[in-house]
Amino acid sequence: MIGAIAGDIIGSIYERNNIKTKVFPLFSPKCTFTDDTVLSVALADSILTGTTYTENLKRYFRLYPHRGYGASFYDWANTDNPAPYNSYGNGAAMRISAVGFAYDDIDTVLQKAKEFTEITHNHPEGIKGAQAAAAAVFLAVHGATKTAIRDFIESRFQYDLSRHIDEIRPHYHFDISCQGTVPEAIRAFFDSTDFEDAIRNAVSLGGDSDTLACITGGIAQAFYGSVPLEIESRVYEILDEHLGGILKEFMERYCGKK
């Protein structure tokens, strides 16, 4: 899961300042965590403690109120009795990586991804995007090859994963939908040689860079087995004690499987 957080932090400075190259400083003094990290850690907290995700989403929003939340989520989090808002936004997939690490069979992963997503993003494309991202993490954790992951995602979710990242990059633009983010994020992982290369692929697409890299980073960590120590160390330096503590607890319990 730390891979997703690393992707969010590394991509954070490029969301509004897109680049189309893999050559860039991995961290800068302006790198920070965004709503992608906050809501991912809130989900990890729910899995660890059994606290409902609705309760944790609202609580973490209050703890970290200025982290780039979408307008619909902002309204949802400020409502006493929030209802899902039929979103197909990529926020559904950016926060879901913990599910792929925490559960032990694909059917449970898909069901839990749906349950944790539809409290806000109950549009079919939102649920589909979250399930695809979680499934990719799960399959990678359990030793599936890139070909096997691709075959599953394409057949189950009808995403077109045929284009190489170099084909996608020149024409890709900012897109906050699941259907315009998740396939590209997964492909960024497929065309990588290691964890860092996967993150560089995702950021180099441009677009919603922190979310692309967050989704890619969770899958890449699962597949490659870990995050480089120098990246891990920088992540914990940037997170505060609360977020870092929950992340460490989740990593110790669920991310030592491979």
Q: What's the whole-number mean pLDDT along residues 243-249?
A: 98
pLDDT of residue 58: 97
CA distance 77 to 60: 10
C-alpha triplet 214, 72, 201: angle, nearest 5°: 20
Q: What is the pLDDT of residues 35-47, one digit of tens each?
A: 999 999 999 999 9
CA distance 145 to 148: 5
Percentage of the chain beyond pLDDT 70 is 99
- Whether residue 151 is predicted with pLDDT greater than 80 in this model: the reply is yes
Q: What is the pLDDT of residues 49-77, one digit of tens each?
A: 999 999 999 999 999 999 999 999 999 99
Domain boundaries, the chain: 2-254
pLDDT of residue 150: 98
Burial of 49 (0-12, 13-18, 19+ CB in 10 A): exposed
pLDDT of residue 136: 98
CA distance 184 to 161: 8
Burial of 249 (0-12, 13-18, 19+ CB in 10 A): middle
**What is the tally of helices (H) and strands (E) in the chain?**
15, 0
Structure tokens at 155: 């057949």
pLDDT of residue 66: 94
pLDDT of residue 258: 36
Q: Is residue 169 helix, strand or coil?
A: helix
Q: What is the pLDDT of residues 157-211, one digit of tens each?
A: 999 999 999 999 999 999 999 999 999 999 999 999 999 999 999 999 999 999 9
Tell me the fold of 2-254.
Answer: ADP-ribosylglycohydrolase fold (1.10.4080)
